[in-house]
Amino acid sequence: MSDVTATIGGQRAEAASDWTASWREGDAGLVRLANRHRSELALVEGSGSDWIVTLRGRRIHVTVQTWRERVLAEAESAVGERSGPVDVRATLPGLVVAVAVAEGDEVEEGATLLTIEAMKMQNEVRSPRAGRIATITAEVGRPVAAGAELLRIE
């Protein structure tokens, strides 16, 4: 699925298209790679989104994420600062379908703030830290662009 992407060193990595991979059960992740001219041995270890590919003697960390995992990871990394005002932004374009808080509310870290529907999936946006909701920019029923400010926590 084009929905799944690979990331190496924080950069999106496009998959080589002209190679085939053949696996054998019980080989502890050994894989034979081949194109029309060359075949080589590689090794892959991991599960879920974290993989280590050993290629030409070099261990390469590859993050493989579905669209949903990517969104969650970006939301997490967007948290950054743990004090001071935090702008909560949309990590993907979508439609705001629910706002669960009001200005002045005290929220815990991880509390659901609002829900954005994108690619037919409902994605809850959670609070990056405990604090008070200062301003809410998002409105139910309005589309938001990726990176748009949704609300601010103090």
Partner 1 sequence: MATSRSDASSLRKDRPFGRVLIANRGEIAVRIIRTCREMGIESVAVFSDADADALHVRMADRAERIGPAPAGDSYLESDAVVEAARRSGAEAIHPGYGFLSENAGFARAVLDAGIVFVGPPPETLEALGDKLAARRSAKEAGVPIVPGLLVPLQSGSGAAAMADREGVTFPAMLKAAAGGGGRGMRRVERPDQLEVAAASAAREALAAFGDGTLYLEELVDPARHIEVQLLGDRHGHLAVLGERECSVQRRHQKLVEETPSPAVTPTIRERLFEGARRVAGTVDFHNAATVEFLLDADGNHYFLEMNTRLQVEHGVTELVTGLDLVAWQLRIAAGEQLSERVLAATPRGHAIEARVYAEDPYRGFAPVSGRIGAWTMPDGPGVRVDAGIAGGTPLPVEYDPLLAKLMVHADDRPAAVARLRRALEETAIGGLDTDLGFLRWLVDQESFASGGYDTGLIPREWGTGPELDAQARSLAAFVALEARAREGAARATVGAASLRTEGSAWGALARREAVDRPRSR
Q: Where are the alpha helices (DSSP H) in the chain?
A: 67-77
Backbone Cα Rg of the chain: 21
Min separation Cβ 109 and partner 1, Å: 20
Instruction: Work out the burial of residue 23: count CB atoms within 10 Å of its CB; fewer than 13 is exposed, 13-18 middle, 19 or more buried.
Output: exposed
Residue 18 or 81: the one with the smaller Cβ distance to partner 1 is 18
Is residue 97 within the footprint of partner 1 (CB under 8 A)?
A: no
Min separation Cβ 108 and partner 1, Å: 23
Single residue of 24, 37, 47, 83 touching partner 1 by CB under 8 A: 47
Give the Cα separation of 145 and 143 in Å (integer).
7
Instruction: Work out the burial of residue 127: count CB atoms within 10 Å of its CB; fewer than 13 is exposed, 13-18 middle, 19 or more buried.
Output: buried
Beta strands 20-23 and 39-47 are: unpaired
Instruction: Using the rule CB under 8 A, give the single segment among 21-29, 89-97, 111-119, 129-137 that binds partner 1.
Output: 21-29
Is residue 73 within the footprint of partner 1 (CB under 8 A)?
A: no
| Residues of the shown chain interacting with partner 1 in the complex, contacts defined by CB under 8 A | 4, 6, 8-9, 13-17, 19, 21, 23, 27-31, 33, 40-51, 53-60, 62, 64
